[in-house]
Structure 1
Amino acid sequence: MGSKRREIPVFEHPIIETHCHLDYLKERPLEETLAEARRVNIERIITIAVAPENLARVRELSQMAPFVYGTQGIHPHDAESYTDGVETEIRSHVGGEKMVAVGEIGLDYFYDNADREIQREVFRRQLQIACDTDRPVVIHSRDADEDTIAILGEFEDTLKRRGVIHSFTSGPGLARYAISQGWCLGFNGISTFNKAENVRDIIRMTPIDQLLLETDSPFLTPVPYRGKENAPFYIPFVAEKIADVKELAIEEVLQATYRNSLRTFFESRPSM
């Protein structure tokens, strides 16, 4: 909190923001946020669906600008609101031109906002959507490493495309499993927090070709802007921290994460 704030760095290489929630941003007009993101060379932004009530809003946001994309899926916090009708809506729209993944789906045993058995059922149902539609997946996993591994294991042979375990704060066991199975791990402002050495340890063990940059904005604002609402244009600070932790040149990190983002979300898209 006491870190001296400085100008957001602008790098020559473009960046893809792989995980944010544009419809949750409140601090400034969305047009200003998008313009500032472009100023710091963010080439594409993926805004993530989490609940039945924002599935349509994410689709609308993806039409705001050519560089904004979205996902369709239900977060474990809202698993108890998952219905056959919600599933039909996800299936109907996840193949859209601007929709790039099924997500954000998974398990959250930290908050336990939904019954754990229902969370597991809804996680499986949405992984099946990804299998059926040949879409990558955006996964949320918190305090649920064993069950996340077990359920992903059930889909190892049928899930043609992987995706990302985003905002990775889990242990090395889940990290090793995910890496071995071809998943990417997503890192955000948590990587800059003083007490997040456990996250930096995972960054060190993650191959650079399986690492993605994200903000998860409006949450988890990186140092040196903690205390302010997070936004996609703060992602250069995450890139800097990744480069520092992995002892790599910033350009190497930017080039690798850009390639990883394209490969994960924008390449090998099926014709719909």
Structure 2
Amino acid sequence: MLVDSHCHLDYLNRAGILDAALGRAREAGVGAMLTICTSIEEFPQVLAIAESHDNLWCSVGVHPHEAQGEVDVAVEKLVELSRHPKVIGIGECGLDYFYERSPRPEQQKVFRTHIAAARATGLPLIVHSRDADEDTVALLEEGAAQGNLRGLIHCFSTTQYLSDNALNLGFYISLSGILTFPKSETLRAIAKDLPQDRILVETDSPYLAPVPLRGKKCEPAYVTYTAQCLAELQGLTAPALAETTTANFFQLFDKAKRA
């Protein structure tokens, strides 16, 4: 069994293809999924999808793109929403200095709020970092210094600096379809040496469809291509990689109960 540790099933739902995509995921051996919240306003829709199937869970959080619009989200609000049995992580949150759709000070404020909520709840923090590795590490170290912080770097695609520091903080690293892209040689070199007890796989669907499906709307079934690529890099068979990443998922997201 594989787990898609990061997907946006509400986007597939709005596109009218969720049920079909979930069926294809089952056929591909994807036995569980974590659907990600990017806005408190949209949390009810994300939660409803997670509630609809035993093997689906969700997170609660504000994506850095949405930080400007929800800059006043409170730690207490995140903690309250996270009490639902289906909510197993805090985020997706973090910093995005590539698109910079929200000003950096607002992104940093909201990120700190999520770090505090993760510490308060003990739930894993789901971190987005793009062109912001140094500030991401600085804020994670700031939070970790206060204790009780764990989580993962989602859709890791950047630098050795970020992976090394995240691992030093006890975080996990999640790989997406970017791992399969022709120009991702540096990423594959980093992924090859990641510790096997800290790796996860994801689609970030509907984005980042892997090779050989570039240009298609991504969906959870496609995590098999990323898993195969990662297995080859790590010197594992596909079943061994699936067993490892699934165990890692339930180790990190321990509020989720494996069927």
Does 2:173 match 1:182?
Answer: no
Are residue 21 (structure 1) and residue 21 (structure 2) matched?
no
- Whole-angstrom CA distance in 2 between matches of 1:250 and 1:161: 31
- CA displacement at 1:95 relative to structure 2: 1.9
SS class of match (1:70)? strand
Which of 50, 53, 64 aligns to 2:38? It is: 50
Please state how far the C-alpha of 1:266 moved relative to its aligned partner. 2.4
Q: Report if aligned partners of 2:57, 2:86 keep a CA contact under 8 Å in 1.
A: yes
Letter paired with 2:194: T
Partner residue, 1:233:
221
Q: Compare 207-216 and 25-34 and name the one that shifted more.
A: 25-34
SS in 2 for 1:239: helix
Asked if 2 retains the 8 angstrom alpha-carbon contact of 1:49 and 1:58, the reply is yes
* Contact 1:46–1:68 (CA under 8 A) maintained in structure 2: yes
Per-residue CA deviations over 1:157-198 (Å, capped at 9, x if unaligned) read: 334241110010121111111111111111011011000112
Aligned-partner SS, 2:52: coil
From 191, 196, 202, the equivalent of 1:214 is 202
Which residue is 2:193 aligned to?
Answer: 205
- Structure-2 change in CA distance of 1:218 and 1:22 (3 Å): same
Shift >6 Å, 4+ stretches? none
Which letter does structure 1 place at the counterpart of 2:172?
Answer: C
Residues 1:112 and 2:108 aligned together = no
Deviation at 1:220, TM superposition (A): 0.3
1:83–1:109 distance in 2 versus 1, CA, 3 Å: closer
CA contact (8 A) 1:52 1:81 kept: no
Secondary structure, aligned partner of 2:251: helix
Residue from 28, 53, 57 that aligns with 1:40: 28
Is 2:124 aligned against 1:136?
Answer: yes
1-side partners of 2:153 and 2:251: how far apart?
15
Three-state SS of the structure 2 residue aligned to 1:185 is: strand
Letter in 2 for 1:18: S
Q: CA deviation at 1:97?
A: 0.5
Query: Which residue, out of 111, 119, 124, partners 1:123?
Result: 111
3-state DSSP class of the match of 2:19?
Answer: helix
**TM-score (normalised: structure 2):** 0.94
Q: How does 1:49-198 map to 2 (within 5 A)?
A: 49-84=37-72, 88-198=76-186
Compute the RMSD of aligned alpha carbons: 1.7
Paired residue type of 1:263: Q
Checking the alignment, whether the CA contact within 8 Å between 1:27 and 1:229 is kept in structure 2 is no
What residue identity is the alignment partner of 1:47?
A: T
Identity of aligned residues (%): 35
Please identify, of 244-253 and 210-219, the stretch whose mean Cα deviation from structure 2 is larger.
244-253
User: How many Å apart are 1:154 and its aligned residue?
Assistant: 0.7
Instruction: Give TM-score scaled by structure 1 length.
Output: 0.89
